[in-house]
A and B are shown apart, each in its own frame.
Chain A
Amino acid sequence: MNVKEWLNRFLEERLPVKEMKDLSAHKLVPEHKQAVWYYFGGISLFFFIILVFTGMVLLFQYQPGLESSHASVLRIVTKVDFGWLIRSVHSWAANLMLVAVFIHMFSVYFMKAYQKPRELTWFTGLGLLGLGLGFGFTGYCLVWDDMAFFATKIGIDIVEGIPGGSYVAHILRGGPDMGGLTIQRMFALHVVIIPWIFIGLLSAHLFFLQIHGNKIPEEIEKSGQYHKIPFFPNFLLSDLYVWLIMLNLLAVLAALFPWHLGAEADALAPAPKGVKPEWYFMAMFQLLKLMPSQVAGISGELFGNMVFGVAGLFWALVPVWNPATASGRRAKLATYVGLFGIVWLIGFTIWGYMAHPV
């Protein structure tokens, strides 16, 4: 008996290998002209894995605290061997993950993959996007440089403007002002609380995907211009291939454009020129900036936040108001809403950067 045979027998006697083989043999993935969008879920997962790994490595050196946060990051990027690389990969991977998640969300939306029976996949996916943004917000603050400090301050101030938001803002800050407790709480959220919820939600998301499989857009399904390829090994190998491309992209960005570290935050100093939130909050930030001080008797910021709340709820509930059809009035409305969403997101993000140059 050679090693391979021995290993097969060892595993078969202890694990449901045959059932797993049968399951993988029956799992098929559709292949058609729009199939490229299927890869973005996997790309998001790849960046998440990179984030977990690099995050754990950073934990060996990072010290949260008013005196130590910025100093430890400075040491990581200037003194620790390849520390700059790990930090740069972590920061770039976080941003690339959010780009991939946004593309994934919009591709799912336009393929109408949120419709029955995939509503739960959609809801868990939105939850993951929210947590991803939470990762970004809490992680950005941890370096405690001037830009991060004021961008976090702006973010928490926005939260404070929402009814009941003052409690949340107070909890996030650990008091009326930002300080050591803010870092401690952001750190706890970033490395313990959000990751646990994220992994639970991610497991559910992947479980639902496993049950329902990938959605074939209705027009392609009707035209019959698709075929199915085995998930194992064909799609999995293609997925790995795409991951390698993403690894190269990430490495180029992290190595040639190392992530910047600003001067240590000083709460008493004026906000630096060009202070703005990270790109994924820029569209919201820019829209809030445009709000007049009063709208219909309430503050403009509150009105803006209410608009976001309603719009976000409307977006999230798309499986409810467009539950089944790929054509017809509701389906068209969903498409127009999606297009409006993309145009708003990209347009206002660009506008925001033009209005707040560095």
Chain B
Amino acid sequence: MNYPQWVIEGIGGPWVIGLIAISHVFISQFAVGGGFFLPITEYIARKNGNMEMLEYVHKHTRFFTILTSVVGAMFGVGIWFAIGLVNPDATAFLIRNFVLAWTIEWVWFFLEIASLVVYYYGWKTLSPRTHQIVGWVYLFTAVMTLFTINGILTFMLTPGDWVENRNLWSAWFNPTFWPSFTIRLLVCLGLAGLYGLITASRMPKEGGLRTQMLRYSAMWFIPTFVGMLFAMGWYFFALPEEVRTMLYSGVSGFARGNLAVLTRVSMLTILFTCTMGMMIYFGAYANPDEFKGGKIAFLMLSALFVTGAGEWTREVLRKPYVIRYVMYSNGVLAANAKTLEDSEQTFLDNIKWRRTGESDGEAMFRAQCRSCHTMDGYRPLREFLAGRDENSINSLLKIMRPGDKNPYQNIMPPVMGTDTELASLAHYLAEEAAKADAPHH
């Protein structure tokens, strides 16, 4: 724990990051999908001399530009604020180790936004050929932003050879890079079609263009529908064995205390991908006249849910690390943990930031528990510790020390510290738990 940390009761820090990140991904993957959708649709319209279709693309560009470059970018900045405040150690680690990658990402991002602005404002002023070229530039830069960020995100789950050689390219092209990139590209294409449906559904029913564009947009979901299960399978087998085991843990039973919920959420991701494919076929493609209002809202809600479920699964699969094998989810470096355990140093002597006047127990709590747990909200400690006294909590903490005997080793970071430090943490937790019990007695 090297920095002060933003403590959020209720939904907890991880969910604040999660909600902002899911919103960002939902829009930014549409931005990449739009990179395909806009220039390809423009190309088809120009090739066939279909001026109405061209007008549709123009209209869609406006909606697209506002949503991706304003709302999407706002959420993007929001992620940086949230991760920097909730998990400063992990953020600092990623910045330090990926300076070049982040620089590349921001260059692509700048070019992406610039080409999108030129594409939007150039509809009336640029020649058709130049406008089309700008569209292809937008497609290339948008895909490259995904290519770059995908390297960093997948590194956090499967750092691969980087753990040994500390080579940037080993980190970037880690074992899950390509399957994850394929999944995200498929999601981008699907989202492009979904958002295309929104614009198309708002067109007048007369003339047949509405039906034509609804069916055209619906077709964009086909690669996602067909390819996603294969891509997911590829991703699954690229995961380390112990991570795959986590995904099986909920096949029989839903007991608390393991990661059974991962199985359940993964199943929902697969189901929603299938049902969305059918909803698009039954709704937009086969029954375009009745495709409006509520149906679109539920389709977009399903897409948002599946985006959230997918991102959440990826995050939780990293447990108990935030960067697998490198840094635990509470910001403690795995290497430091090993040194600490071997040298029998105290934990608190190694943390660089403490609140003035706080007890050792509270400092231990803030440094090792707070980044994942709240007292009463998300992953509530008061509920988990209910019925335990100080001695019992102390025994539990001792069980959770590093080592193979720790039953929680695949779910939570190990608890570190000397016997005295663990006792002070147990004392603090017992006092906090008792505060909640008081009104009931």
Determine the chain A residues whose CB is within 8 A of the CB of B298 once the complex forms.
245
Is there an interface contact between A237 and B254, defined as CB atoms closer than 8 Å? no
Q: Does A256 contact B (CB under 8 A)?
A: yes
Is there an interface contact between B253 and A78, defined as CB atoms closer than 8 Å? yes
Is there an interface contact between B264 and A248, defined as CB atoms closer than 8 Å? no
Is there an interface contact between A247 and B267, defined as CB atoms closer than 8 Å? no
Is there an interface contact between A84 and B290, defined as CB atoms closer than 8 Å? no
Is there an interface contact between B271 and A248, defined as CB atoms closer than 8 Å? yes
Nearest chain B CB to A146's CB is how many angstroms away? Answer: 19
List residues 286-337 of chain B with CB under 8 A from any CB of chain A: 286-287, 289-290, 294-295, 298, 302, 305
Q: With A and B bound together, what is the CA distance between A258 and B290 in angstroms?
A: 35
Determine the chain A residues whose CB is within 8 A of the CB of B272 once the complex forms.
248, 251
Nearest chain A CB to B257's CB is how many angstroms away? Answer: 13
Q: With A and B bound together, what is the CA distance between A245 and B282 in angstroms?
A: 12
Q: Does A83 contact B (CB under 8 A)?
A: yes
B-contact 0/1 string along A55-79, CB 8 Å cutoff: 0000000000000000000000111
Q: With A and B bound together, what is the CA distance between A252 and B298 in angstroms?
A: 14
Q: Does B95 contact A (CB under 8 A)?
A: no
Is there an interface contact between B275 and A83, defined as CB atoms closer than 8 Å? no
Determine the chain A residues whose CB is within 8 A of the CB of B295 once the complex forms.
238, 241
- Count the A residues whose beta carbon is within 8 Å of the partner chain — how many? 27
Nearest chain B CB to A251's CB is how many angstroms away? Answer: 5
Determine the chain A residues whose CB is within 8 A of the CB of B282 once the complex forms.
237-238, 240-241, 244
List residues 170-190 of chain A with CB under 8 A from any CB of chain B: none
Q: With A and B bound together, what is the CA distance between A234 and B264 in angstroms?
A: 34
Determine the chain B residues whose CB is within 8 A of the CB of A251 once the complex forms.
267-268, 271-272
* B287: contacting residue among A77, A82, A233, A247, CB under 8 A: A233
CB-based A-B contact count at 8 angstroms: 74
Q: With A and B bound together, what is the CA distance between A237 and B261 in angstroms?
A: 33
List residues 237-279 of chain B with CB under 8 A from any CB of chain A: 251-255, 261, 264-265, 267-268, 271-272, 275, 278-279
Nearest chain A CB to B359's CB is how many angstroms away? Answer: 36
Known: A234-B289, A237-B287. A78 touches B252 (CB 8 A): yes
Is there an interface contact between B252 and A83, defined as CB atoms closer than 8 Å? yes
Interface residues of B, dominant DSSP:
helix
Q: Does A80 contact B (CB under 8 A)?
A: yes
Is there an interface contact between B275 and A247, defined as CB atoms closer than 8 Å? yes
Determine the chain A residues whose CB is within 8 A of the CB of B268 once the complex forms.
251-252, 255-256
Is there an interface contact between B279 and A238, defined as CB atoms closer than 8 Å? no
Is there an interface contact between A77 and B254, defined as CB atoms closer than 8 Å? yes
Q: Does A229 contact B (CB under 8 A)?
A: yes
* B275: contacting residue among A78, A233, A237, A244, CB under 8 A: A244
| Closest chain B residue, CB of each to CB of A238 | B290
Q: Does B283 contact A (CB under 8 A)?
A: yes
Determine the chain A residues whose CB is within 8 A of the CB of B302 once the complex forms.
245, 248
| Closest chain B residue, CB of each to CB of A84 | B254
* B252: contacting residue among A79, A241, A247, CB under 8 A: A79
Is there an interface contact between B283 and A241, defined as CB atoms closer than 8 Å? yes
* B253: contacting residue among A79, A229, A237, A240, CB under 8 A: A79
Q: With A and B bound together, what is the CA distance between A230 and B106 in angstroms?
A: 53
Determine the chain A residues whose CB is within 8 A of the CB of B251 once the complex forms.
81-82
| Closest chain A residue, CB of each to CB of B295 | A241
Is there an interface contact between A84 and B252, defined as CB atoms closer than 8 Å? yes
Nearest chain A CB to B371's CB is how many angstroms away? Answer: 23
Determine the chain B residues whose CB is within 8 A of the CB of A234 once the complex forms.
287, 289-290
Is there an interface contact between B253 and A84, defined as CB atoms closer than 8 Å? yes
Determine the chain B residues whose CB is within 8 A of the CB of A245 once the complex forms.
279, 298, 302
Determine the chain A residues whose CB is within 8 A of the CB of B254 once the complex forms.
77, 84, 88, 258
Nearest chain A CB to B228's CB is how many angstroms away? Answer: 16
Determine the chain A residues whose CB is within 8 A of the CB of B290 once the complex forms.
229, 234, 237-238
Q: Does A36 contact B (CB under 8 A)?
A: yes
Determine the chain A residues whose CB is within 8 A of the CB of B289 once the complex forms.
229, 234
| Closest chain A residue, CB of each to CB of B293 | A36
Nearest chain A CB to B254's CB is how many angstroms away? Answer: 4
Q: With A and B bound together, what is the CA distance between A78 and B253 in angstroms?
A: 4
| Closest chain A residue, CB of each to CB of B271 | A251
Nearest chain B CB to A11's CB is how many angstroms away? Answer: 21
A-contact 0/1 string along B145-164, CB 8 Å cutoff: 00000000000000000000
Nearest chain A CB to B147's CB is how many angstroms away? Answer: 32
Is there an interface contact between B294 and A252, defined as CB atoms closer than 8 Å? no
Known: A244-B278, A252-B268, A255-B267. A36 touches B252 (CB 8 A): no
* A78: contacting residue among B255, B261, B283, CB under 8 A: B255
Nearest chain A CB to B429's CB is how many angstroms away? Answer: 26
Q: With A and B bound together, what is the CA distance between A39 and B269 in angstroms?
A: 26
Q: With A and B bound together, what is the CA distance between A256 and B251 in angstroms?
A: 14
Residues of A near any B CB (own CB < 8 A): 36, 77-85, 88, 229, 233-234, 237-238, 240-241, 244-245, 247-248, 251-252, 255-256, 258
Some 9 contacts from A to B, beta carbons below 8 A apart, are A77-B254, A78-B253, A84-B254, A234-B290, A238-B282, A238-B295, A245-B298, A248-B275, A256-B265
Q: Taking A241-B283, A251-B268 as given, write out 19 further A-B residue pairs in contact, using a Cβ cutoff of 8 Å, ordered by the A residue number.
A: A78-B255, A79-B252, A81-B252, A84-B253, A234-B289, A234-B290, A237-B282, A238-B290, A240-B282, A244-B275, A244-B282, A245-B279, A245-B298, A248-B302, A251-B271, A255-B267, A256-B261, A256-B264, A256-B268
